[in-house]
Chain A
Amino acid sequence: MSAVVASVPKKKDRGGPWLSLLAWVVGILFVLPVLWMVLTSFHSEEDAATNPPAVFAPLTLDGYREFFSGGASPWPPLLNSLTASVVSTILVLLLCFPAAYALSIKPVRKWTDVLFFFLSTKMLPIVAGLLPLYLFAQKAGLLDNIWLLIVFYTSMNLPIAVWMMRSFLSEVPVEMLEAASVDGAGLTKTLRSVIAPVVMPGIAATALICFIFSWNELLFARVLTATVAETAPVFLTSFVTSQGLFLAQLCAAAFVVSLPVLVAGFAAQDKLVQGLSLGSVK
């Protein structure tokens, strides 16, 4: 691509430096609130609440100390979030892979209808299913149980995962499959040794998106959990009302809870694009 760009006559790119500068300015504006969050989390509560902002105030870990050991410990919610996200992501992968196989490589009849059924469940407002699930959980004694969230997060992400996986699986060259069936390989063997290696990047993209969406979810976690299975976003809602000088602690909390998503997202930027476009952009 660089060759093509280089061959464009220079004079066509008149606004070049200004547009580059604009791109930088816009990028900095967008990242600024995140940087402000990180900086404030390392300030003392007094410096965090100044107007105009005390940008160069001395750094301290007090905000983090207060967050981790000031009141209720954030570790159980963080671990709950981790459990719910990781286990539901694994379940989604186990369910979506065979389904996507049956929708692309050896398609069932009316496979497009099935595909659109999956997408349509994503469009139904989840709040409409909230009450019956709550009543069911109450009757079954599953309120405040992390497994209920895991099952729900699996259903929340499965449609997206099926769409993504289908799109990746349809890239598998059909010759390789034919060669495998000539060799007498069964379904599991074909899945494992022929298809999986080709779509590994797709699996990574799917896993990343499912992890992020489960980690972020608030509404269901808030309604269906209490003290035992509380997740990190629910824990954060204790900061909704202001409590005196608490900005540094709030920023520390917001940063800690966002850290797994920030790390995973930055590490796999390209996977993020594939995932967000349901696999239609590679």
Chain B
Amino acid sequence: MTSVAEKTTSSPGTEARPARTARSIAWARRAPLMPALIFMIIVTQLPFVATLVISFMDWNAYYPDEIGFAGFDNFKRVFTDVNMRDAVLTTIYLTAGVVIISLLLGLGIALLLDRKFSGRGFVRTMMIAPFLVVPVAAALLWKHALYNPEYGLFNGAITWVWKLFGSDNPPQPDWISNMPLWAVIFALVWQWTPFMMLILLAGLQGRPLDVVEAARIDGANSWQIFRSMTLPHLRQYLELGALLGSIYIVQNFDAVFTITSGGLGTANLPYTIYQIFYQAHDYGRASAAAVIVVLGTIIIATFALRTVSSLFKQEANR
């Protein structure tokens, strides 16, 4: 896929024109980009500058008379706060858990759906459904209709199966209290597996089949084909899924807010900052926490962007 861009930039003659025309051409080219760029800088970059400023201020909405310069106090409080450290760990567990499990499940299901069988389109449609439920609605559904220890579907199904075998004493675990973080992770895995599956399935279907065919004729078995041909081909799709999934799940608020309300050790960074700001009204501390999160994200995002960037160059050079 050679993009049009390369062809246009490498077209000869552009450099030979007089300077003024070249400059006006450059501006004519830039003009369509400007509205979007300026809009993004105002709406996304300015607030971060403001966050940075507020993070050095003593500012709690409950004490409006005590607004002033705080130096690094807010940062000290954030770094020494046990809740913040827990929130960082929770965010890592939650994101890694959801991304890895849904990527592996998605890969398995994509491989299953890459075969021809009757009702394939229908199974694919069924698989997509979880992703199309509004996240809050999905979290509510898991919390009340599935996990609930008294009338949830999980314990209901256990009762039903135990009755089938003549037992009147089925185990009725309280899923959310027993394994709060896993309860959130499973609900999110259910929603994100279809996402991973769709991307990987599209990758599988873009595989050059004649090469696979040739390998099969040469006597390669399915595992060998998967290991040495399918997996390398899927690498960029796996990376894309992991990257996009991480971007969204690191920021997850809906599931944590709905299923556990941040309790039982499930408060991740977005929820913790939301709480400091929305409930404690400690603007200075919330901003300091936000600044630290942004710095952490920049470090991680640099690596992620490098990955995308290398993929991107491969694509451009092809």
Residues of chain A having any CB pair with chain B under 8 Å? 1-2, 4-5, 7-8, 12-13, 16, 19-20, 22-24, 26-28, 30-31, 33-34, 36-37, 40, 48-53, 95-96, 98-99, 101-109, 111-112, 114, 116-136, 151-152, 154-155, 158-159, 162, 169-172, 174, 177, 187, 212, 215-216, 218-219, 223, 232-233, 236-237, 239-240, 242, 247, 250-251, 253-255, 257-258, 261-262, 265-266, 269, 272-273, 276-278, 280-281
CB <8 Å contact, A219 and B35 = no
> Given A124-B297, A127-B290, list of 13 further CB < 8 A pairs?
A12-B216, A30-B126, A49-B150, A49-B151, A125-B250, A128-B293, A130-B273, A218-B136, A233-B254, A240-B258, A242-B148, A254-B138, A276-B198
CB <8 Å contact, A281 and B199 = yes
Is B85 part of the contact surface with A, judged by Cβ < 8 Å? no
CB <8 Å contact, A218 and B51 = no
Shortest CB distance B14–A (Å): 11
With A154-B39, A262-B132 in contact, do A31 and B32 touch (Cβ < 8 Å)?
A: no
Is B70 part of the contact surface with A, judged by Cβ < 8 Å? no
B222-243: contact bitstring with A at CB < 8 Å (1 yes, 0 no)? 1000000000000001001000
Other-chain residue from A33, A117, A123, A223 in contact with B247 (beta carbon distance below 8 A): A123
CB <8 Å contact, B209 and A120 = no
With A155-B39, A172-B4, A218-B253 in contact, do A127 and B30 touch (Cβ < 8 Å)?
A: no
Other-chain residue from B119, B251, B291 in contact with A126 (beta carbon distance below 8 A): B251
Chain B 1-28 residues near chain A, CB threshold 8 A: 1, 3-5, 7-9, 26
Is B206 part of the contact surface with A, judged by Cβ < 8 Å? yes
CB <8 Å contact, B112 and A23 = yes
Cα–Cα distance between A255 and B150 once the two chains are bound (Å):
22
Is B312 part of the contact surface with A, judged by Cβ < 8 Å? yes
Chain B CB count within 10 A is highest, among A19, A102, A177, for A102
Complex: chain A residue closest to B187, CB-CB = A33
Chain A CB count within 10 A is highest, among B32, B131, B199, B301, for B32
Cα–Cα distance between A165 and B50 once the two chains are bound (Å):
31
Other-chain residue from B5, B144, B237, B257 in contact with A250 (beta carbon distance below 8 A): B144
CB <8 Å contact, A261 and B126 = no
Shortest CB distance B68–A (Å): 16
CB <8 Å contact, B131 and A265 = yes
CB <8 Å contact, B47 and A272 = no
Report how many A-B pairs have Cβ atoms within 8 Å: 342
Cα–Cα distance between A276 and B198 once the two chains are bound (Å):
9
CB <8 Å contact, A129 and B145 = no
Cα–Cα distance between A33 and B36 once the two chains are bound (Å):
40
CB <8 Å contact, A218 and B135 = yes
CB <8 Å contact, A99 and B37 = yes
Complex: chain B residue closest to A26, CB-CB = B109
CB <8 Å contact, B130 and A30 = yes
CB <8 Å contact, A127 and B240 = no
CB <8 Å contact, B287 and A131 = yes
Shortest CB distance B70–A (Å): 15
Other-chain residue from A33, A162, A273 in contact with B199 (beta carbon distance below 8 A): A273
Cα–Cα distance between A236 and B124 once the two chains are bound (Å):
28
CB <8 Å contact, B130 and A101 = no
Cα–Cα distance between A23 and B47 once the two chains are bound (Å):
47
CB <8 Å contact, B33 and A103 = yes
Complex: chain B residue closest to A245, CB-CB = B151
Shortest CB distance A57–B (Å): 13
